[in-house]
Copies of this chain bind each other. A is one copy, B any other.
Amino acid sequence: MTEPPFRRVVVIGAGLMGTSVALALRRFGVEVLLEDADPGNLRVAVSLGAGVPVTPGDAPRAEQADLVVVGVPPAALGTVIADALARFPSAVVTDLGSVKAAALADTRAHAPAGAGLDRYVGGHPMAGSEQSGPLAARADLFDGRAWAVTPHADSRPDAVAAVERLARTCGALPVQLSPGEHDEAVALVSHLPQVASTVVAGLLTTAAEGHLVLAGQGLRDVTRIAGGDPDLWTQILSANAEPVARLLHEAADNLHRVAHTLEKRDAAEAGLADLRNSLERGATGVRRLPGKHGAQPEAFSAVPVLLPDQPGELARLFADVGAAGVNIEDVRIDHSPNTPAGLVELWVHQDTVPALLEALAHHGWDVHG
């Protein structure tokens, strides 16, 4: 059996994030000790199999932990991290907080000189849920997610390495950033969308009777995160107030601008062009997000197939490919003048190309070129 990635880990705060980290570590046989000020949270986390509670008699054992993970609300981070540095004098200490510069400043304010601040390295797994509490915790919550690792100037290299190992053990991809860079980034990719979602959802409270029955998937997607815990988000946004406020003003100005364009639309074609530019900019922004295709574009291949000009041929092609167990990632039909009229490109994962070609040949499809 391989060595566990950590010998003993203390998780302080058995909420959604802390319990999920504990569950992820338990998969590898790591010994996890749990603490939470709320006995209910602690009971649920223990009951889920996330670890065992630290009892007074355990103190000496807990002190030998090699890693402490602090998963408490943002407003409490500084005091709890500073306290952990004092209580676990040989452990690396990290946290799961959503804002990093404020957590570091608060920790410095509470940690006396010589308290071992060089053993602290901030962390922030980019995963979560609009739910909260240990009941929503999952061992695979971090699978394939980014995990920001935010060393400060004095962080020890071995502490940074330990936090990166934690991220990888939880199935995440560690990404190193300074605390300040991190906060700028999350203001854009997390806090702005949170407030925008909240504002759209807030206006739903003004809906006339019966109008919400027209809600479709788009509205549900846009407003899902607005269901998050208001107390938690008050703390997160307050802790990153400056970068968030700047982006909110910018977003608000853009909304006003679109509204003005709509109000003046009879005036000129220029208004429509403005509106279209705003929409095009949004579509461009979405394409910049790393995604299914964006992440590893090289992993997909195009197989061109020539379709007979008969009704239902594309349906038959999809059925044949599906029956062969090959997943079509994308389909493109080129309408350019020099392309044969019935040419369809099937984009599939490159590993499945041989199976696709065999299925196409078996069913008599004409693979082009």
Residues of A within 8 A of B (CB): 40, 43-44, 46-49, 51-52, 126-128, 135, 145-146, 148, 175, 177, 181-182, 184-186, 188-190, 192-208, 210-228, 230-231, 233-234, 237-238, 241-242, 244-256, 258-260, 262-263, 265, 272, 275-276, 278-291, 307, 309-316, 331, 333, 335, 341-342
Does A222 lie within 8 Å of B222, measured CB to CB? yes
13 A–B contacts from the bound complex (CB under 8 Å): A47-B313, A51-B311, A52-B311, A128-B216, A135-B331, A189-B207, A189-B219, A194-B218, A199-B282, A202-B282, A204-B288, A233-B279, A249-B255
CA distance A252 to B241 in the complex (A): 18
| Given A189-B215, A208-B184, A254:B199 Cβ within 8 A | yes
Does A248 lie within 8 Å of B256, measured CB to CB? yes
A214 partner, pick from B146, B260, B282, beta carbons under 8 A = B146
| Given A146-B213, A234-B272, A241-B263, A223:B279 Cβ within 8 A | no
Chain B residues positioned under 8 Å from A291 (CB to CB): 220
CA distance A235 to B208 in the complex (A): 25
Smallest distance from the beta carbon of A189 to chain B beta carbons, Å? 5
A193 partner, pick from B188, B189, B222, B259, beta carbons under 8 A = B222
Besides A190-B216, A198-B281, A220-B291, 17 new A-B residue pairs in contact (Cβ under 8 A), listed by A number? A49-B312, A127-B217, A181-B211, A188-B207, A189-B215, A195-B278, A196-B255, A198-B282, A198-B283, A218-B224, A220-B289, A221-B224, A227-B287, A242-B263, A248-B258, A251-B255, A252-B252
A189 partner, pick from B188, B211, B248, B272, beta carbons under 8 A = B211
Nearest opposing residue in chain B for A52, CB measure: B311
CA distance A314 to B255 in the complex (A): 47
| Given A184-B208, A205-B281, A230-B276, A219:B190 Cβ within 8 A | yes
Chain copies in the assembly? 2
CA distance A135 to B307 in the complex (A): 14
| Given A219-B189, A279-B233, A203:B290 Cβ within 8 A | no
CA distance A205 to B217 in the complex (A): 25
| Given A226-B285, A230-B276, A40:B188 Cβ within 8 A | no
Does B198 lie within 8 Å of A214, measured CB to CB? no
CA distance A197 to B49 in the complex (A): 39
A290 partner, pick from B177, B213, B222, beta carbons under 8 A = B213
CA distance A136 to B33 in the complex (A): 50
A234 partner, pick from B210, B279, B331, B333, beta carbons under 8 A = B279
CA distance A232 to B262 in the complex (A): 15
